[in-house]
Amino acid sequence: MANYDVIVIGAGPAGYHAAIRAAQLGLKTAVVEKWLNKEGAPAYGGTCLNVGCIPSKALLEASHKFVDARDNYGEIGIRISAVEADIPAIVAKKDEVVANLTNGVAGLLKSNGVTAYEGSAKLHTGRQVTFTAHEGNTQELSAENIIIASGSVPVEIPPCPMTGDLIVDSTGALDFQSAPSRLGVIGAGIIGLELGSVWSRLGSEVVLLEALEGFLPAADKQIAKEAAKQFRRQGLEIRLCARVTGTEINASKVTVSYSDAEGDKSEDFDKIIVAVGRRPYTEELLAADSGVILDERGFIFVNEICLTDAPGVYAVGDAVRGPMLAHKGIEEGIMVAERIAGQMPVVNYDLVPSVVYTHPEIAWVGMTEEDAKATGEDYQVGTFPMAASGRAMANNETAGMVKVVADSATDRILGVHIIGHQASEMIAEAVIAMEFGASAEDIGLTMFAHPTLSETIKEAALSVDNEAIHI
């Protein structure tokens, strides 16, 4: 039996960060990863690198550049004729990016001295792990500490069974070789909006069917309203309160039945993407005697430092409570590795940034205005439109705004919300400021480079006390 200080189950973002950090701290570390890529070869990086965050961003960026060149370059004096989207080439470039990064993770594990096992793992009592290689042979492993980082998988719904071709999940939507004439997306959350945006830009008529009454309910309502306006302007058809009840395959079409406020309806689509969320992946992972407890939704139950009910067994990332975001899992993985090594870090779950990588991007951290109102405490709001930013004008990217929510008594920043170009990059400034307990005045007194998009955060902070210069 091979013995380790730490065994990490899963080499997605949470898992490989945990493994590398544990090895850096001098712990004898192993990682078990079962992922196989499209060619059937072992691959590291989990959902995020293989079929999630990274490939979707590659498609989003390529499709945005295509539309920008086709529709917008003329506004800034650049004339381009016959702009075409070579979709197979776009998808191939996406695959190249994925391969480079997954190979990079394998190299990082090796260079840090992490022992990699390619296959599946089952956890038993006493931190014993049965490893089964892809070829079928088994091996027993043990460790003083186990970190479960098994990730998540797309939720499937009975009305929309996957066909592998006409009805697909988010993974299948990354590999279309042509844009469907008419594309239905079940779910208008982050994944649905991002994938819908990609294929709308590349030529599809896109209809998003969302069962919820509100659009992007996790976002600040003012920001969500602006986002809906921008997406509809781009041609995305967003139907709220539309609950899908069934699908039927007719030759090469999919008939979708759904109900909304007007009653029962049906429509035909060339393809359907099911994007109704993700669930924790724990199939075949836990033996009956593992001691690890799942909650009613299938998440592994952990305490504030990600320790399960089983001694010495931790769980991180999408498999546990909290937002299913790679960066949240990364911080949990590093925290647990450092805890095992005797350090005392914590994860600040109040400051987990969220991003929607559409165009314009949407990003936020902390409390929405609705959250602040619900507390009953007095608060103030400052906003600043991207249209008033010199850099945004120069970039021909004036859609959107920045919103700052601050405590009326202390002026401490409670939340920052951005819709606009490069919002995903700008939100880090807000996270850092809030991590150090900054006030709106602190941001207002900070010198920002000019001209930059980041200045909009300063202006929004100044606007909290009606001191913004450019509005």
Q: Does residue 251 register a pLDDT over 90? A: no
Q: Does residue 29 register a pLDDT over 90? A: yes
Tell me how far CA of residue 41 lies from CA of 77, 103, 135, 286, in angstroms: 47, 11, 12, 25
**Could you read off the pLDDT of 382-438 as tens digits, one per residue?**
999 999 999 999 999 999 999 999 999 999 999 999 999 999 999 999 999 999 999
Tell me how far CA of residue 443 lies from CA of 195, 412, 420, 447, 464, in angstroms: 35, 10, 19, 8, 11
The catalytic residue among 17, 64, 450, 470 is: 450
Supply the DSSP string of 55-97, one letter for each residue.
HHHHHHHHHHHHHIIIIIGGGGT----S----HHHHHHHHHHH
The CA distance from 180 to 167, in Å, is: 12
Q: How many CB atoms lie under 10 A from the CB of residue 195?
A: 27
Question: For residue 360, is the peptide bond before it cis, meaning its omega torsion is within 30 degrees of 0?
Answer: yes
What pTM value is reported for the model? 0.97
Verify whether residue 64 is a known catalytic residue: no
- Nearest CA-CA partner of 422 in 463, 464, 383, 452: 452
Q: Coil, strand, or helix at residue 398?
A: coil
**Could you read off the pLDDT of 235-249 as tens digits, one per residue?**
999 999 999 999 999
The CA distance from 252 to 249, in Å, is: 7
Instruction: Please name the helix (run of DSSP H) or strand (run of DSSP E) that holds residue 340, with its range, or none.
Output: helix 326-340
Q: Summarize the confidence of residues 32-46 as an average pLDDT.
A: 97
Q: Which positions ≥6 away from 463 have C-beta within 8 Å?
A: 382, 383, 384, 404, 471
Q: Coil, strand, or helix at residue 392?
A: helix
Tell me how far CA of residue 90 lies from CA of 81, 99, 253, in angstroms: 19, 14, 25
Q: Which domains does the chain have, with CATH numbers?
A: 2-154+279-350 (3.50.50.60), 167-276 (3.50.50.60), 360-463 (3.30.390.30)
Give the neighbor-by-neighbor strand order of the sheet with 401-407. Answer: 354-356, 361-366, 413-420, 401-407, 379-385
